[in-house]
Structures are given as structure tokens and as C-alpha cells.
Amino acid sequence: MTGYPLTRPWRPEPTSEAAAAWVLLQEEGELSETSQLRFTDWLAEDEAHLVAYEDALWALDAAARHAGAPDMLALRGAALAARGNRKQVWGWTAGLGLTAAAAVAFWTVPHEPISPIGTATRVAESTADAGTSNYQTAIGQRSAIGLPDGSVATLDTDSQIRVAYSGKERAVYLLKGQALFEVAHGKPVPFQVYAKGQRITAIGTVFNVRIEGDEVRVSMVEGMVKVRSNPAPGSDAGTPAREITLTAGEAIVAAAARPLVVKPVEVRDVASWKGGILVFNDKPLSEAVAEINRYTMRPIAIADGAVGNYRVSGVFKSNDPEHFSQAMAEVFPIEVTHASDGAPTLRARAD
């Protein structure tokens, strides 16, 4: 596939552009004392600056790890072709390493900015269970929630958790969607996440849990967890619970009556969604579109079944279905049409 063109009739959102500029400057080498002071002051000016800086780091890191993918190669080629025209690639990208320049341009060019991690809606608690707190995010929203013990649960789009700490356990129930858990160390009771009949127990670790239908995907970033599948209702009374241990770089997909099989996972890609990006590695277009659609109120439609069979590799912004659609049309024999509400539709091009 190909990446987004480096030139657009609009300018990138100023905060994201500034964050990308700092990332590129740091990629060149250690900042001077004066520049370091300016950078520190810039971060302290606004919490949004820190969010934008972290997002730019996520994007650059992901792009660097997929530098051999066709979209990254195309970006570097476009950057090289445009180096003679500073207006095309913006002054601060000219003369820098092509991988870094392409990666940050890929991140900042789309005109619709990534919504920063904000505050989830707190759902009214039941009076019968006043010790619990429920949180949910809307479509397209991400939210970091500080838990009572200092742990952090970051909710992805359209997700919901229930927090029910007690003297016996630090319990969090993932009711739908996806969440990244960064668990506080040194606590006397276990940290446990419950999702679709699975219990994930962790102490001082970082892991991601996602619900897809009847399946639960657990992916490790660091540390270790134990995943326990309780017997499904109606199974034999003597059926033992299944349990498996996961460490960093491992993942499982658990479901009722299915063996727990450990598979390798790229640690840096596990929670790329936290930075507002999605990483696809040889993914069917239909699955990539389904993932993009989780983040938008104007989902992409696929008019022709064969279109969904094309394979996609690349790094994309999660909240920009229009640019994703146009990128697909640039490399595949696809045309993009739009519904009355502006939602894009992908269909086979009539040549």
C-alpha cells in the first residue's frame, strides 16, 4: 500500500506539529542546554503538549518498526522527491533522516487531529452496590482512569469497565471493548481483571485486554499475568479450570471450550491504539476497515466483497476513515464514493 501524500491544502494542527518538530530534533541527537530548557517549558505550558508529544513518539516508533512495509517505503520516496521543495514538506522536515521525516509527516498531515486521552463518562452506580464505580467511553474517545491503588486503566473507544475494589482483591470487570492496564506494584491484594469468563491476575505489570464477541484477547507488554478460564455453565462438574501464564511479548485468545494457546506478539504494537494509531500487518482490508470503524460515527462501507480481500500493511490514524479510504484507493483498484452523511464506501473501480 502507499502512505498519505506529504502535501495537503491544509496545515497540521499546531500542537501536533510542534510535538513532531521536537521529536525530529531529538532524533538528530542530544538537545543543547538552551533547547532542552525550551522543550521543558513547552511541555509545562499545557497538558495537551505532553499528550501530543507522547502520541508523536508512538507514531515515530511504530513507523520505524515497519520501515520496510510498502507504505513506509513510499513515504520515504515521497520525502526524498520533495526535499528540494521546502514548502511541500514544511521547513522542519527538510534535511532530516528520511525515515523520521516520513514518519512524522505521516502522523501530522491529516487535518482531523487525534482526540487526546480525556475523561471517561462515569456511569451512575447502583444504590445496591455503592462500592463499585463504572466508566465508559464513547465511540472515538479514549480515556485514562486512575484507580484507587494508583494503577491506571486506559479505555479504548466504546469501552466500559466496572471497578470493584475490596479487602480481598483489586477487581476490574471489562464489560466491553478494550483496556490497557498499568498495575501498581507492592500491594497486599491481587489485581484481577474479569472478562467473559476469564480472570487475569497480575502484580505490577502492563497488559492489554480486549473483548471481541465471545473471545477475550490478552496481550502482554511487561511483567507476568495468569489467565484462568472458568468452566462454562452447564459443563461437567469435574471439568477443571484452565490456567496459563503469560509474559512480555505473549498473547492468547480465550473463549469457552477452546484450548488456551500462547502466541508471540509485538510488544510495541500491543497498545498502539493508546497513541491514536493502528498498525496493520498483512491484514485483510475487510478486517482493517472493521478496526477503523470502531473509532468513527461515519463507518467505511465495502460495496464489493472482493475488495475486502486485499491485504493491508501500514500505520494509520485511528480516527480518520476518509484518509484511510483515499490511501486504499491510491494503491488498489478501488474507488471511494460517499453516502449522504459523508461516510466513505469502497467499491471496485470500473476500468
Give per-residue pLDDT as tens, 12-61: 467 877 888 887 787 777 777 778 778 777 877 776 777 777 777 766 66
Per-residue H/E/C for the chain? CCCCCCCCCCCCCHHHHHHHHHHHHHHHCCCCHHHHHHHHHHHHHCHHHHHHHHHHHHHHHHHHHCCCCHHHHHHHHHHHHHCCCHHHHCHHHCCCCHHHHHHHHHHHCCCCCCCCCECCEEECCCHHHCCCEEEECCCCCCEEEECCCCCEEEECCCCEEEEEECCCCEEEEEEECEEEEECCCCCCCCEEEEECCEEEEECCCEEEEEEECCEEEEEEEECEEEEEECCCCCCCCCCCCEEEEEECCEEEEECCCCCCCCEECCHHHHCHHHHCEEEEEEEEHHHHHHHHHCCCCCCCEECCHHHHHCEEEEEEECCCHHHHHHHHHHHCCEEEEECCCCCEEEEECCC
As given in the structure block, the three cell numbers for residue 16 are 501536533
Identify the top-confidence range among 76-80, 182-186, 256-260. Answer: 182-186
Q: What is the pLDDT of residues 78-135, one digit of tens each?
A: 444 544 443 333 332 322 233 333 333 333 333 344 445 555 555 544 434 556 899 9
Summarize the confidence of residues 251-257 as an average pLDDT: 87
> pLDDT at residue 67 above 60?
no
* Residue indicated by cell numbers 508471540: 264
pLDDT classification of 1: cutoffs 50, 70, 90? very low
The confidence score (pLDDT) of residue 15 equals 80
Identify the top-confidence range among 5-14, 70-79, 294-303. Answer: 294-303
Q: Strand 311-317 and strand 277-284: pairing?
A: antiparallel
Cβ neighbours for 34, distance < 8 A, ≥ 6 positions apart: none
As given in the structure block, the three cell numbers for residue 291 are 478496526
Percentage of residues of the chain with pLDDT beyond 70: 71
Q: Supply angle C-alpha 336, 338, 342, rounded to 5.
A: 130
Q: Is the pTM value of this prediction over 0.75?
A: no
Q: What is the pLDDT of residues 313-343, one digit of tens each?
A: 888 888 889 999 999 998 899 999 999 989 9
The confidence score (pLDDT) of residue 207 equals 97
The confidence score (pLDDT) of residue 135 equals 95
Summarize the confidence of residues 226-241 as an average pLDDT: 64
Domains of the chain from N-terminus onward: 14-108 (no CATH), 121-269 (2.60.120.1440), 276-348 (3.55.50.30)
Q: What is the pLDDT of residues 193-220, one digit of tens each?
A: 999 999 999 977 999 999 999 999 999 9
Residue type at position 162: R
The confidence score (pLDDT) of residue 6 equals 27
How crowded is the C-beta side of 169, counted as CA atoms within 13 Å?
14
The confidence score (pLDDT) of residue 68 equals 52
pLDDT classification of 186: cutoffs 50, 70, 90? confident
The confidence score (pLDDT) of residue 128 equals 44
